[in-house]
Amino acid sequence: MQEKIIRDKILEYMTLENVFKIVNDNIFPLLNEEEKDFCHELQEFCIELHPKIDKNKDVYVLFPELGKRGYIQRINLWRDFKPYGMKAEVLLATHLSCLDSQLELARLASGILCGNPTFQHGETEEIFKVQNELMEGKKIGCIGITERDRGSDAVNILSTCRKSEDKSHVIYNAEKIFTTNGPKADYFATYAVYNTANPRGTMVQAMVSRDFKGELITNRLKIPYVPRVHIAHTIMNEVEIPIEYILGDNGKGYTNLFDGLVPERLGIMGSGLGICWATLAYAIIYSNLREQFGRKIIDFQGVGFSLADLLARTSAATTLAFQAASEYDKNILFAEHPSKEAEKWIAGISSQGKYLVSNLSADLTYTVQQQMGGISVTDNTDVQELSSTSYIEEVIGGARNIQLLIIQNALRRIGKIL
C-alpha cells in the first residue's frame, strides 16, 4: 500500500476471511459435502498466502505455491489431487480470483489454455513431461491463437508450418499477439496451418518449447490493466518442433482448438465469479462500516438497493456456472460416450455463461466503485485490481461480440426447424 487513507477500524474487517464468510453464506447451499470441504481447503490456502503476496512482483513467483497443492488446474486428475472435474475447476478459479485476480488470469492461461491439451490430446512421454512441469508450477505455459490480422476470426490462421523432409519435425513460422504469459513462458500451445487456403483441414496444434531449434521471440506488450501479468507479441521463425510434441496434426488441430474453447470459457466463468464475489463482499463490508451524514452508507437506498441488485445477479450467475460445470462433468468429462446433444448444449451454454459472467464482473466492479466512493480506486483495497482484471476477462476467450455471435448463430438455426 503506497499511502493508507482508509481508517483502521474499517480496514481490519476488509479481510479475505470475511470475504469467504460472505461467499460461503451464499454458495454453500449449492454444494455437496466434498465440494464444501474443497472450498474450506482452498480458503485456508488463500488466507495463508494473501498477506505474503508482494504486489510489486510478477504473479509468476507464486506458481510453485499453486503447484505444490495441485492448484494449477483441477479439470483433470493429476497425481492424486482431488476433487477434480469442471465443477472443482470453477471453485478453484473462483477462490483464486478472490485471492489475486491477476494470478488467476495467468494461472488459467498456463494450467487450462496450455495445460488442458496435454491431458486431452497428449500421448507421448515428452508431453507428459511438459504436463508435470506445468502442473508443478515450475514451468509456465501459454496459448498462441490470436494473430495481428486474425483476432475474432480465429479459424483463418495465417501462421504457417511444414513437415521436415524426414517427417521428424514440423517447422513453424508463426506470429501471434496477446500471448498471456508469453514473455515468461517455457511452453507455447500454438496453432499454425499447412495451407492457409484450407485452415480447417490442415491446422496443427503443437506444444512449442522455448528450447527448440529456431528463433522464438517474445516481446512484452504494455497492458496497464494487469501489470503483474506478462503478455507477448510472439514470433516464431523456423522453429523446429519434434513430432512427439504435435498434439493435433493436419486438421486435428482445428477440432482440438474448438474442443478446448468450451472448458476455457467455463473456466473463465469461475474467474469472473471470483471477481464478482470478492468485489461485492468488500463493498458489503465497507458499506456496513463507512458512515456519512451520520449513517452507515448501506442504509442509503442508493447504495443498498444497488448492492442488493448485484447480489441477485451474482447469485444467478453462480447457479448457472455451477450447473453448466456439473453438466459438463456428467455428460462430457466423465461420460463413457458423450452425446452430440450434450456437446451442443454445453458449447452454447459456455458462450452464454462466459458472456454473462465476464460482462457482469465488469459492470459489477464499475458499479461497486460508484457505491464505495474514492477509496475503491486506490490501492487501499483490492477492488481496483479486481475491476481492472474484469475488463481483460471480457476480452480473453473470445470477446463479448463473439460470444453473442455464437449464440445468435444457434438462434438462426431455429429457422431451419420451424
For 205-232, b where at least 16 C-beta lie within 10 A, e where not — what string?
bbbbbeebeeebebeeeeeeebebbbbb
Backbone phi, then psi, for 52, in 5-degree steps?
Answer: -90, -10
What does the per-residue mask of binding to ligand FAD show for 59-98, with x meaning CB under 6 A? ----------------------------------------
| DSSP of 263-306 | HHHHHHHHHHHHHHHHHHHHHHHHHHH-EETTEEGGGSHHHHHH
Beta strands in 122-275 (DSSP E): 141-144, 160-163, 169-180, 187-193, 203-209, 215-221, 231-242, 246-248
| The one among 152, 219, 319, 370 contacting ligand FAD by CB under 6 A | 152
CB closer to ligand FAD, 175 vs 244: 175
Contacts of 308 (CB under 8 A, 6+ apart): none
Q: What are the cell numbers at 348?
A: 452454447
- Applying CB under 6 A, which part among 44-52, 129-137, 145-153, 269-277 lies near ligand FAD? 145-153
Residue, CB closest to ligand FAD: 151
According to the binding rule CB under 6 A, does residue 360 interact with ligand FAD? no
Please measure the distance between the N-terminal and C-terminal CA atoms of the chain and give it in whole angstroms: 60
Count of residues that bind ligand FAD according to CB under 6 A? 21
According to the binding rule CB under 6 A, does residue 268 interact with ligand FAD? no
| Distance in angstroms (rounded) separating the CA atoms of residues 156 and 193 | 9
Cβ–Cβ < 8 Å for 362, 308: no
| The one among 237, 292, 401, 409 contacting ligand FAD by CB under 6 A | 401
Residues 195-224 binding ligand FAD (CB under 6 A) are 223
CB closer to ligand FAD, 66 vs 231: 231
According to the binding rule CB under 6 A, does residue 171 interact with ligand FAD? no
| The one among 39, 42, 333, 392 contacting ligand FAD by CB under 6 A | 392
According to the binding rule CB under 6 A, does residue 179 interact with ligand FAD? yes
Q: What are the cell numbers at 409?
A: 448463430
According to the binding rule CB under 6 A, does residue 389 interact with ligand FAD? no
> From the CB of 217, what's the least distance to ligand FAD, in Å?
16
- Applying CB under 6 A, which part among 83-91, 334-342, 352-360, 399-407 lies near ligand FAD? 399-407
Cβ–Cβ < 8 Å for 31, 87: no
According to the binding rule CB under 6 A, does residue 109 interact with ligand FAD? yes
According to the binding rule CB under 6 A, does residue 178 interact with ligand FAD? yes
Cβ–Cβ < 8 Å for 274, 97: yes
The residue ranges that bind ligand FAD (CB under 6 A) are 109, 142-146, 151-152, 178-180, 223, 231, 392, 395-396, 398-399, 401-402, 405
